[in-house]
Structure 1
Amino acid sequence: MKPANSSRWLVTAFDFATANHFRVIVLLLLCGLVIFLPGFFNIPAIDRDEARFAQATKQMVETGDFVDIRFQDDVRYKKPVGIYWLQSAAVETASALGLPRAQLRIWIYRIPSLIGAIGAVLLTYWTALAFVTRRGAALAGLMMASCVLLGAEARLAKTDAMLLLTVVATMGAMARVYLSWQRGEDPVHPSWTSPAIFWTALAGGILLKGPLILMFVGLTILTLAILDRSAAWLWRMRPVWGLMWMLVLVLPWFVAIFWRAGDAFFANSIGGDMLSKLAAQESHGAPPGLYFVLFWVTFWPGAALAGMAAPAVWRARREPGAQYLLAWLIPSWIVFELVLTKLPHYVLPLYPAIAILTVGALERRVLSRSWLVRGAAWWFAVPALASVIAIVGAIKLTHQPVFPAWPILAAAMIFGLIAWWMFEDSRAERSLLNGVLAAMFLSIGIYGIVLPSLTTVFPSAEIARALRNVVCVGPKAAAAGFHEPSLVFMTGTDTLLTDGSGAADFLGQGTCRFALVEARSERGFVQRAEAIGLRYNVANRIDGYNISQGRAVSIAIFRSEGTE
């Protein structure tokens, strides 16, 4: 059977799903769940950012203080409170529903990210409707749902998936007002809907990640004002009432945290976090161009079409729709490329603009027929390379071949191969749909099967499991040499982070205490134990791999037998 014939059912199903808005929403919701849920529940807390966010939220729930943000005794004033409130609401709801040990289940803290990712997919569809047909908007939504980078962020208890939701809502609302002005429409009674969405989403973005969302909006407005030599359309955004509404939403917490901590939050958040990113923060420095290189992986499977659409998009750059989307995309992208600190998720809020621009070129059938067509092979190359890396990595780390993942990953490669083989300008949509199917199988294979099997890269989970099996009541722990945030999240807020000598002292101070000592700190522990006459035994030993530091670890769990 030819690939074109074998994929005819895909087009038929897509025709049915795009017959009306309700069906499209159901399609995008189901595709989002299929892609985002594998591994969502059973991948342990990942160091370091996810575990830090989750632990700070857990302390909010434990203390009942929903103003201050802390990691153990240290303040955590890098981001505003928005994501912590959302995660706290998820934890409190789960606890109220009777879920045991809700505060220790990392997947509950990930629920806001899942909602943010699915909401961003649906809002991409809504935003795209202002530029392309319903069918094209559905394809833009599918591009975002299957996007590699969003798939990762949907499974992490961090700010970025929710931030994406607020950015797309903001930019989609602003697009409707701008395009209405470009068309010369002058309604007698302008709608409040788009301004209300804009200012509310803007407030949400500020509470999630501070002024970053203002950069996306501000650079877009500035670029359009320069190109159009006018910004008169901004008055349709109801700026006076909107600004007051936004301040009503964001000021209460900022006032509360200033009342609690003075200017410490602003000094740490703006000076210590945001401005420090202009330098190579936390060894994440990289030269300009990195995001362009990473794009071809992080936006897969849509990246293959995006490259072919680029020439046509540039030719149409002065058309109102393309101009708006490029104003959303290019200035902020340049800023991110110039900033020294680079992390892949920084450019995620720009991907919906790329998806809509790509679909616009696809609908007009103006995709490049030049050498860029060779990029269709990328639909197959990514699942093939990812499958090989996943299986080889699993064998190296666990000495297990993870056979259950093989047929799933093979299916991903097959659909990627079909997408490549059948590509031509008239069948670009069909190739993209096959690429989305490949992304689904890749997600199930890697996130659902391979990653949960890599127990060695989650030593904190193994340590917490060992401590839960002890026979004493209320075990307390001190860690030496292994201080990852996931350990604090899983073993308890009062876990002491110390050195080998401190762990020995801790062990001698009472019963039901455990010292978690990494091999590099054992010498200090043993010397101090001998000095204070501490008798101890090894309750267990966890061998694993610290992904944050990129090295193997061996952690002994020592238990006191008293003193001589």
Structure 2
Amino acid sequence: MDGFVAQQRASLRHFSLAQAASVLERSHLRLCAILVLLSLACFLPGFASLQPMDRDEPRYAQATKQMLETRDFVDIRFQDEARHKKPVGIYWMQSATVALGEAIGIPEAHTTIALYRLPSLFGALATVLLTYWASLAFLSRRGAFVAAALMATSIILMVEARLAKTDAVLAACSVAAMGGLARAYLSRGAGILPRRTLLIFWLGFAVGILVKGPLVPMFVGLSAAVLIYRERSAHWLLTLRPWLGGLATLLIVLPWFIAIAIKSGGAFYSASVGHDMLGKVGTAQSYHWAPPGFYLASFFATFWPGAILAAIAAPFAWIHRKEEAVAFTVAWIVPSWLVFEAVPTKLPHYTMPLFPAVAILTVMAISRHFVGPHRPAAKVATVLLPFIPLGLTIGLSSVSWSFDGALPYRGLPVMIASSLIAIYAWWLFVRNQVHKAVSVSFVSATCLAIGVFGFTQLDLRSLKLSPRLAEVAHNHSCENPKVATLGYREPSLVFLTGTGLEMLETGEQASAFLKDGGCRMVFVERRFEEAFRAENERLGLIPTLSTRVVGFNINSGRRLDIGAYASGS
């Protein structure tokens, strides 16, 4: 009798869950609302409290800040240096959110990094929702939801949603354009595409150019070239109305490209194409060099928790390569991935715009029961599900103990919970409950985001050198002191202390800076203090040591001990 009751309860519970899922799937709006909530749970923890992350983020933010200070929205500069690497799109977006924050009365809006991150947050949300939209060309509503959730919970998108850079917005533009291209290809012969599809495609294409130059055209162009070869025809592209769309794109992007050419005398193009783009292809940026295969290896961390499922699904793409939907996802992923692997300059986020296609292909394989414990080595390989949160839990605890002498007590319980939930997801996979395993992995990823970004980073005080130094400067006895730094030159310090921060080279320069009089403060890294003191004695200066800031610089890989010396009142 007890067994019968238990069975009935289980059946009722299964029916209730199935019924709830059925109700949700009847409405795109409901599914998108859940995706937004899931995304916010993954993206918002630590969004405002995480310090400006050197070096790229504060470079973008500082350039935007200078646009607002100078009211010059054409040229892009970091202090006195021209920043002619990327187009202006992200700077305009950041300027708008900061100006809005200032208008509604947010204090110190120009140095509030969260305001500069809002375009990235919106870009990440758009990436998730547009992945859902793009996936509907391939999958059912439930499948599209899972594909979008794989993007929302991926580690790389969690990171980029919190950084005031181009990459989250680029991913949104890319998936918008590729979703439109997919509809043109999969519905060829239908004659016309809905206006909404055309608008999404061309807006993604044009904004993508303004945000990061040639990358969205590269994704679209390489995929289209492969599909044209497959079909032996390019006629299907006409449904995208290329003449009208191309004209609209030129109207959107040309004004700034012409203005910056006039403003910089052509220097923007020589720097962005000659140094930045060709430098990545050559050896000019060798400090980001990595061998071919780097993206394949880093993929298992950047696309966690979906990465190992995608790896298991990879043979599915080969077996079903003649199917149109599979062929499109392969054309979306493979050519651009090979380009990234061939280029010597490599960073983990470069391949992120290709991940929506990986998610779609993975869900295709899962929906056809291709992915499961029956696949070769799958039971062992999916140990990666708990490995990532366990590794982060142990690694961040070790960092906190090593640098700050304490465990990250606020984040540790949540990270442990994430690890345990991931272990449960692996156990479900081994028991051939793949769909449940995927759902549980989303919970694990959400907990990981809360634990790492929401709590643990707060306890890693040694890594927050620039905020601590900026706080010292702001607490100086006089208002708005002139500030200089010697030995520590991170862009985040410029962003937090002010555009006028002077970058010094020698101890003698630091002494001369203080000797000029007025309210001044100089940060001197310990390596330079002997020369600094000797010059002070020669000049008869007796600066006040306000405090010492000790920590670890991630970029240089060195522990730093920085003295804050003040003069004036």
Compute the TM-score of the two structures, normalised by the length of structure 1: 0.95
Among 240, 246, 251, the residue aligned to 2:249: 246
Give 1:433 shift: 0.6
Contact 2:120–2:161 (8 Å) recurs in 1: yes
Structure 2 residue 511 is the aligned partner of structure 1 residue 508: no
- Which amino acid is the alignment partner of residue 399 of structure 1? G
Q: Distance in 2 between matches of 1:379 and 1:13?
A: 27
- Which amino acid is the alignment partner of residue 195 of structure 1? L
Partner of 1:268: 271
Give 1:146 shift: 0.3
SS of 2:429's equivalent in the other structure is: coil
**1:10–1:109 distance in 2 versus 1, CA, 3 Å:** farther
Partner of 1:359: 363
Give 1:310 shift: 1.2
- Which amino acid is the alignment partner of residue 525 of structure 1? F
**1:471–1:13 distance in 2 versus 1, CA, 3 Å:** farther
Partner of 2:3: none
Give 1:101 shift: 0.3
Partner of 1:283: 287
Among 57, 79, 96, the residue aligned to 1:50: 57
Q: Distance in 1 between matches of 2:409 and 2:467?
A: 23
Q: Distance in 2 between matches of 1:406 and 1:186?
A: 57
Q: Deviations over 1:297-330 (max 9, x none)?
A: 1111111211221111221111111111110100
Q: Distance in 1 between matches of 2:17 and 2:163?
A: 31
Give 1:28 shift: 0.4
Contact 1:279–1:285 (8 Å) recurs in 2: no
Q: Distance in 1 between matches of 2:42 and 2:23?
A: 21
**1:506–1:134 distance in 2 versus 1, CA, 3 Å:** same
Among 489, 492, 497, the residue aligned to 1:483: 489
Contact 2:474–2:480 (8 Å) recurs in 1: no
Q: Deviations over 1:321-378 (max 9, x none)?
A: 1111110100000111111111000000000000000001111112262324122222
Contact 1:478–1:497 (8 Å) recurs in 2: yes
Compute the TM-score of the two structures, normalised by the length of structure 2: 0.95
Contact 2:517–2:568 (8 Å) recurs in 1: no
Among 137, 148, 155, the residue aligned to 2:144: 137
SS of 1:394's equivalent in the other structure is: helix
Q: Which stretch has the larger CA shift, 522-531 or 272-281?
A: 522-531
Q: Distance in 1 between matches of 2:364 and 2:27?
A: 19
- Which amino acid is the alignment partner of residue 480 of structure 2? G
Partner of 2:319: 315
Partner of 1:93: 100
Contact 1:174–1:194 (8 Å) recurs in 2: no
SS of 1:55's equivalent in the other structure is: helix
Partner of 1:297: 301
Partner of 2:332: 328
**1:14–1:415 distance in 2 versus 1, CA, 3 Å:** farther
**1:317–1:506 distance in 2 versus 1, CA, 3 Å:** same
Q: Distance in 2 between matches of 1:282 and 1:99?
A: 41
Q: Distance in 1 between matches of 2:308 and 2:382?
A: 6
**1:340–1:425 distance in 2 versus 1, CA, 3 Å:** farther
**1:425–1:274 distance in 2 versus 1, CA, 3 Å:** farther
Contact 1:117–1:162 (8 Å) recurs in 2: yes
Q: Distance in 1 between matches of 2:568 and 2:305?
A: 58
Contact 1:535–1:561 (8 Å) recurs in 2: no
Structure 2 residue 183 is the aligned partner of structure 1 residue 179: no
Give 1:11 shift: 6.8
Q: Distance in 2 between matches of 1:92 and 1:507?
A: 34
RMSD: 1.9
Contact 2:303–2:355 (8 Å) recurs in 1: yes
Q: Which stretch has the larger CA shift, 306-315 or 343-352?
A: 306-315
Give 1:279 shift: 2.9
Contact 1:220–1:331 (8 Å) recurs in 2: yes
SS of 1:371's equivalent in the other structure is: coil
Give 1:410 shift: 1.9
**1:494–1:11 distance in 2 versus 1, CA, 3 Å:** farther
**1:285–1:29 distance in 2 versus 1, CA, 3 Å:** same
Q: Distance in 1 between matches of 2:208 and 2:490?
A: 28
Partner of 1:342: 346
Partner of 2:407: 401
Contact 1:177–1:194 (8 Å) recurs in 2: no
Partner of 1:206: 209
Gaps of 5+ in 1: none
Partner of 1:80: 87
Partner of 2:195: 192
SS of 2:382's equivalent in the other structure is: helix
- Which amino acid is the alignment partner of residue 385 of structure 1? G
Aligned length in residues:
556
Q: Distance in 2 between matches of 1:529 and 1:426?
A: 72
Give 1:426 shift: 5.3
SS of 1:493's equivalent in the other structure is: coil
Contact 1:419–1:434 (8 Å) recurs in 2: yes
Structure 2 residue 446 is the aligned partner of structure 1 residue 443: no
Q: Distance in 2 between matches of 1:120 and 1:180?
A: 23
Q: Deviations over 1:93-133 (max 9, x none)?
A: 00000111001111111100000001100000000000000
Q: Distance in 2 between matches of 1:252 and 1:400?
A: 54
Give 1:533 shift: 2.2
Contact 2:544–2:566 (8 Å) recurs in 1: yes
Q: Which stretch has the larger CA shift, 520-529 or 301-310?
A: 520-529
SS of 2:187's equivalent in the other structure is: helix
Q: Distance in 1 between matches of 2:367 and 2:139?
A: 8
Alignment of 1:522-561 (within 5 A): 522-560=529-567
SS of 1:534's equivalent in the other structure is: coil
Give 1:12 shift: 6.9
Alignment of 1:450-489 (within 5 A): 450-489=456-495
**1:264–1:123 distance in 2 versus 1, CA, 3 Å:** same
SS of 1:515's equivalent in the other structure is: strand
Q: Distance in 1 between matches of 2:183 and 2:52?
A: 40
SS of 1:556's equivalent in the other structure is: strand
Structure 2 residue 123 is the aligned partner of structure 1 residue 116: yes
Give 1:229 shift: 1.0
Give 1:523 shift: 2.3
Structure 2 residue 136 is the aligned partner of structure 1 residue 125: no
- Which amino acid is the alignment partner of residue 97 of structure 2? A
